[in-house]
Amino acid sequence: MTNERRVLVHQNKQALASSVAARFITKMVDILHEEGEANVILTGGSVGIAVLAAINESAARDTIDWARVSFWWGDERWVPRAHPDRNEGQARTALLDHLAIPAANIHPFSASDEGLSLSEGAERYAADLAELAPLGALLPRFDIAFLGVGPDGHVASLFPHGAGIRENEASVISVLNSPKPPSKRLSLTRPVLNSSDRVWMVLAGSDKASALGLALAGASRDEVPAAGIKGRKRTVFFVDNEAAAEVPESLIAPSY
């Protein structure tokens, strides 16, 4: 089994979102044909949500049998369920509410107004993951994990020099002191993200160029968490021209 890391560069954010959406639809049809069902980890952020909106707008959207696709999240802000900052709500508006998909296939994190503490929210999501894992496993088989990358190199809510990026045992962690507000969050851990067959990182803008360059140049995962995330089969960075400014030429793929 190979593990490739490649960078695909697009002219701008709009072209990036459209390209990733088209690739996702094509790949999902293939996965469903081969595996019968699929599990996808979603991300928030402007680019991640733009990709979901582009999937929804695609004429090929309904070539996917959405009843056989389950959605999870890489992280979530600890705010009320209806809060506009929740990744879940943004994903529903952009894509999920438009699909013929059973409610049971959508697996959001708990919210701050549901009577749970932050740590209990983490425990509940870990239990959900384990419950829907194949016999003998602790996690579902993830086919694609979408991730954004922050200007500091963070992915999900795993931040530089934080305990989260070093967590190797738990599947879900509670974050109490996120350097990016809100301070309280829930996040999948690095081993869970790395269990996905494919990691697709989507990022745009000149403020991401340094983090991307460092991640690809071999920075430590403590310094640049994105450097420690690799899919089991393939890791692809989908970026725009501005974010690619510091990417080594040898890693830029002419095609995929």
Q: What is the pTM of this model?
A: 0.96
Residue 249 pLDDT class (50, 70, 90 cuts) = confident
**Which H helix or E strand runs over 17?**
helix 13-35
pLDDT above 70 coverage of the chain, percent:
98
Q: What is the mean pLDDT of residues 157-166?
A: 97
Query: 8's torsion region: left (phi>0), alpha (psi -120 to 50) or beta?
Result: beta
The string of DSSP letters for 210-253 reads HHHHHHHTT--TTT-GGGG---SSEEEEEEETTTTTTS-GGGB-
pLDDT, one tens digit per residue, over 135-146 is: 989 999 999 999
Question: d(Cα 228, Cα 234) in Å, to the nearest integer?
Answer: 14
> For residues 117 and 105, what is the distance between their CA atoms, to the nearest angstrom?
24
Whether residue 255 is predicted with pLDDT greater than 70 in this model: the reply is no
Which tens digits make up the pLDDT trace of 1-32? 456 688 999 999 999 999 999 999 999 999 99
Domains of the chain and CATH, by start: 4-251 (3.40.50.1360)
pLDDT at residue 252, rounded to an integer: 81
